[in-house]
Chain A
Amino acid sequence: MKKLAILGAMTVAGLSAGVVSAATLDDVKARGKLNCGVTTGLVGFAAPNANGEWEGFDVGVCRAVAAAVLGDPTAVEFVPTTGKTRFTALASGEIDMLARNTTWTFSRDVDLGFEFVGINYYDGQGFMVPKELGVSSAKELDGATVCIQTGTTTELNLADYFRKNNISYEPVPIETNAEAQPLYLEGACDVYTTDASGLAATRAAFENPGDHVVLPEIISKEPLGPLVRHGDNEWGDVVRWTLNALIAAEEYGVTSANVADMASAAGDSPEINRLLGTEGTLGAMLGLEPDWAVKAISAGGNYGELFEKNIGENTPIGLARGLNAQWTEGGLLYSPPFR
């Protein structure tokens, strides 16, 4: 009987130990590492390079958050996730944030219980076809075999688009981008569809990118952004404002080259001063160091620098800024004021 009592007591202790507050920020600080969910490999957005280091646009966001919170942009553990595992990984706490070109939709935000903290890439779904097919519009795709990544919103958009235009097609569902490539290249499907940025990245990895064209139709809105678990607002704020800091930094002309200079002393622009912590206590409000934004920006540069370095026009992926330009230049990027 005594044994049972001990066992019972142990169980109760175990149960109560399980109830921890969901303070992700404290967890990350205590761990000294940020667990960041990324794709299993999409060149330009998140992919390991030849040395096994992760690189890319989404990776840059992870590194900026790690720099802001821990002061070290390399203190990130990248967890590759697929369309299937990404939400469970986040919901179960395996990762602290998900930066994996994930589309912000109503049901993901409300029903699945996640919190999208912002948009780091305004995207839309497009189609890629081999040039030799001579197709110039998605409306000519009647009867085509289409490769799609399952578990993404593209699958649903595709069904809607083809139904609306009353054209038939053959879906070939595929789990990852890597598996889709050989199928498309060998001609097992006529068309590959995913986010336009993903198409550009995939095409860049081909041996002869010039043999393939991306059709002009963009059939959906795909605002991609990092997300965190619902209900932990402190942590959500940290990620949200780190992303905003990167966007604002570009707007104000703060770059990784001049950020150290500008942060050494308060300058004449109060907005920049508040952003860089030389004025006000924005950092403390987030529960971070005053120079959190300085570290985030120096990790990989501001939004524009990240874009140019990873997916911009001078990279093999060659994406134009388009919608992703600052609002001052006709784009949609618009960071709320740092005040």
Chain B
Amino acid sequence: MSTISDPPSGSFQLSMLINDTRYRSYTFQFIALILLILAFAYLGYNLLANLQAAGLNISYQFLGEPAGYDINQTLIPYTSQSSHWQASLVGVLNTLLVAFLGCLMATVIGVIVGVLRLSDNWLIRQLMSVYVEIFRNVPVLIWILIIMAVFIAVLPQPRDFRGDDPEATMFLNAFAFTGRGFYAPAPIFGPGSVAVIAVFLASIAGIFAFRNYAKKALYERGQLIPTFWPSLAIFFLPAITAYFIFGRPITLEYPELRGFNFQGGIFMRNSLIALWFALSIYTAAFIAENVRAGILAVSKGQTEAAASLGLRPGRIMNLVVLPQALRVIIPPLISQYLNLTKNSSLAIAVGYMDLTGTLGGITLNQTGRAIEAIFLLMLFYLAISLAISAIMNVYNNAVKLKER
């Protein structure tokens, strides 16, 4: 029986490094590691040699120096005397702003289109699939530039509002849609406005309380209390009453044509809108497909069961199908959010000052610190992606537990 040979022991040969499965994986990993180290050494060596030849060094001191340039949309205080670091922070906030707005609008459009793609209405179905196919199959950069072209070429410029017989007029004397962006009235909070806002917040809390009460009444006593109109009333009435009681403390500041531009009011710049709309409609096309797939993944029996309970189609969708579909929809939805955030770096094509525009654009150009600036830029996006992936993993695990 000892014909089955023992594993050769003791006599280690060099060829075993390749041919013996016990050692082979070590050999491979060793080689891979060496190659990796060599590759990094080679690149690093080249970098050093190039930097030395050009008389450069790697240094992040430029972040503390005054930036020297102005930014047209700043969510935090910034002047041209602020540091490059402050300019980068302005960029980060602008990135997050457009990403947030974009995700919000993309979700709304995407869910509506996704549901309508499964509608009973043949015409709507066709229109929605045309929408999805057109926006999915054309680069988002082209959409950004097209929407920007609408601003440049179609909408009237402030100069068209001027004169006795202007080519363009303001909408309701309060809104101006110009090629440079949209102007809307801005609220001015006078004394006493705090009280109005407090009343308003309290009424929102009241709506939630009322809805909870209605739910409880339904579950415990089987009593169906209408919620829509009362909620609406709670939302508006107290706040409006308070507004008049406190002597109309909140007034509106209307945009007004003064000098070269409209002054006053809220201004939304054309680059922000172009980027926001383009990212939203583009991403919405993908989200619509995810939503549709999610709804289709809910088995037909669920719909039929709900229908046999006598639920109306709207309620079937809201109470039975969507909650189950969400589990399928949310993971791809989050990766679409991630894509949208990454695509927001195309801001540079329309001159929106996001992080790519400040740190990776003007700061890089002015200081010439290409390696440092791009390294920081990548680090920022990487951090956002990893954070979102982490959230997604947590969510996936949470969903998994419920699922058996």
Instruction: Mark contacts of A121-147 with chain B using CB atoms, 8 A cut-off: 1 yes-contact digit, 0 otherwise.
Output: 000000000001100000001111100
Given the contacts A183-B152, A187-B179, A171 and B53 also touching, CB distance less than 8 Å: no
CB distance from B13 to the nearest CB of A (A): 12
Does A322 make an interface contact (CB < 8 A)?
no
> Does B365 contact A84, Cβ atoms closer than 8 Å?
yes
Q: In chain B between 32 and 78, which residues have their CB closer than 8 angstroms to a CB of chain A?
A: 34-35, 38, 41-42, 45-46, 49-50, 53-56, 68-72
CB distance from A8 to the nearest CB of B (A): 8
- Chain B residues lying within 8 Å of A152, measured Cβ to Cβ, are 365
Does B259 make an interface contact (CB < 8 A)?
yes
Among candidates B258, B361, B368, residue contacting A150 with C-beta atoms closer than 8 Å: B361
- Among A14-22, A57-65, A252-260, the stretch in contact with B: A14-22
Given the contacts A83-B365, A84-B361, A182-B152, A231 and B68 also touching, CB distance less than 8 Å: no
CB distance from B256 to the nearest CB of A (A): 12
- Chain B residues lying within 8 Å of A160, measured Cβ to Cβ, are 68, 80
- Chain A residues lying within 8 Å of B260, measured Cβ to Cβ, are 133, 141-145, 190
Given the contacts A15-B42, A156-B68, A173 and B54 also touching, CB distance less than 8 Å: no
CB distance from B156 to the nearest CB of A (A): 9
Q: In chain A between 158 and 199, which residues have their CB closer than 8 angstroms to a CB of chain B?
A: 158-160, 162-163, 169-175, 182-183, 186-188, 190
Chain B residue with minimal CB distance to A144?
Answer: B260
Does A11 make an interface contact (CB < 8 A)?
yes
> Does B365 contact A151, Cβ atoms closer than 8 Å?
yes
Known contacts A15-B42, A84-B361; can you find 17 more A-B pairs with CB under 8 A?
A8-B38, A18-B45, A142-B259, A143-B258, A143-B260, A155-B68, A156-B80, A162-B70, A170-B180, A171-B69, A172-B351, A173-B361, A173-B362, A183-B152, A186-B179, A187-B159, A230-B54
Does A4 make an interface contact (CB < 8 A)?
yes
- Chain A residues lying within 8 Å of B272, measured Cβ to Cβ, are none
For B, the interface residue count at a CB cutoff of 8 angstroms equals 49
Does A87 make an interface contact (CB < 8 A)?
yes
CB distance from B85 to the nearest CB of A (A): 17
Does A92 make an interface contact (CB < 8 A)?
yes
CA distance A184 to B49 in the complex (A): 44
Q: In chain A between 204 and 220, which residues have their CB closer than 8 angstroms to a CB of chain B?
A: none
Given the contacts A173-B353, A182-B152, A188-B179, A145 and B365 also touching, CB distance less than 8 Å: no
CA distance A113 to B276 in the complex (A): 40
Among candidates A84, A91, A171, residue contacting B54 with C-beta atoms closer than 8 Å: A91
Does B151 make an interface contact (CB < 8 A)?
yes
The number of chain A residues touching the other chain, given as a range, is 35 or more
> Does A174 contact B56, Cβ atoms closer than 8 Å?
no
> Does A143 contact B368, Cβ atoms closer than 8 Å?
no
Does A31 make an interface contact (CB < 8 A)?
no
Can you list the 3 inter-chain pairs with the closest CB atoms, starting with the nearest? Answer: A151-B365, A113-B55, A187-B157
Instruction: Mark contacts of B281-309 with chain A using CB atoms, 8 A cut-off: 1 yes-contact digit, 0 otherwise.
Output: 00000000000000000000000000000
Interface of B is mostly: helix
7 contacts between A and B (CB under 8 A): A113-B55, A113-B56, A133-B260, A143-B263, A171-B71, A173-B362, A187-B179
- Chain A residues lying within 8 Å of B353, measured Cβ to Cβ, are 173
Given the contacts A150-B365, A186-B179, A172 and B38 also touching, CB distance less than 8 Å: no
Given the contacts A18-B46, A19-B49, A151-B365, A144 and B261 also touching, CB distance less than 8 Å: yes
Given the contacts A143-B258, A230-B55, A156 and B366 also touching, CB distance less than 8 Å: yes
Does B364 make an interface contact (CB < 8 A)?
yes
CB distance from A101 to the nearest CB of B (A): 15
Among candidates A15, A93, A175, A182, residue contacting B45 with C-beta atoms closer than 8 Å: A15
Instruction: Mark contacts of B141-184 with chain A using CB atoms, 8 A cut-off: 1 yes-contact digit, 0 otherwise.
Output: 00000000001110001111000000000000000000110000
Does A314 make an interface contact (CB < 8 A)?
no
CA distance A8 to B362 in the complex (A): 42
Does B4 make an interface contact (CB < 8 A)?
no
Does A315 make an interface contact (CB < 8 A)?
no
> Does A171 contact B368, Cβ atoms closer than 8 Å?
no
> Does B364 contact A84, Cβ atoms closer than 8 Å?
yes
Among candidates A22, A92, A155, A172, residue contacting B69 with C-beta atoms closer than 8 Å: A155
Chain B residue with minimal CB distance to A111?
Answer: B368
> Does A143 contact B261, Cβ atoms closer than 8 Å?
yes
Does B14 make an interface contact (CB < 8 A)?
yes
Does B265 make an interface contact (CB < 8 A)?
no
Instruction: Mark contacts of B84-121 with chain A using CB atoms, 8 A cut-off: 1 yes-contact digit, 0 otherwise.
Output: 00000000000000000000000000000000000000
